[in-house]
Copies of this chain bind each other. A is one copy, B any other.
Amino acid sequence: MKIKVIITLKNGVLDPQGKAIQQTLNGMNFKNISEVRQGKFFDIEINEADENKAKSQIDEVCKKLLANLVIEDYKII
C-alpha cells in the first residue's frame, strides 16, 4: 500500500528558500504571488494490507526520522 506524507514548516518558522522563490516569481511578472512556502513530500510503499496499521507505522516513521517536530508539521494522506 502506498502512503503519502507532506512535511511543512510550522507557521512562524522562516523559510528563506520559499522567500527566494516568491521573489523570483515576482521578478518574472507573477506579481500577485504573495507568499511561497516549501515543504517535503514522501511517497512510501509499505507491505501492510491494513490501512490503519500502515498509517500508524508511517506516523512513527515521521516522528522518528522524516520530520523535525521542533520546526515542522507532518500530514499523512
Contact = CB atoms under 8 A, between A and B. Distances in A.
A16 to B, nearest CB: 14
B33 A65 contact: no
A24 interface: yes
Chain A interface bracket (under 10, 10 to 19, 20 to 34, 35 or more): 20 to 34
A25 interface: yes
Interface of A: 6-8, 18, 21, 24-25, 28, 30, 32-48, 57, 60-61, 64-66
A48 to B, nearest CB: 6
B30 A61 contact: yes
A56 to B, nearest CB: 12
A34 B44 CA distance: 8
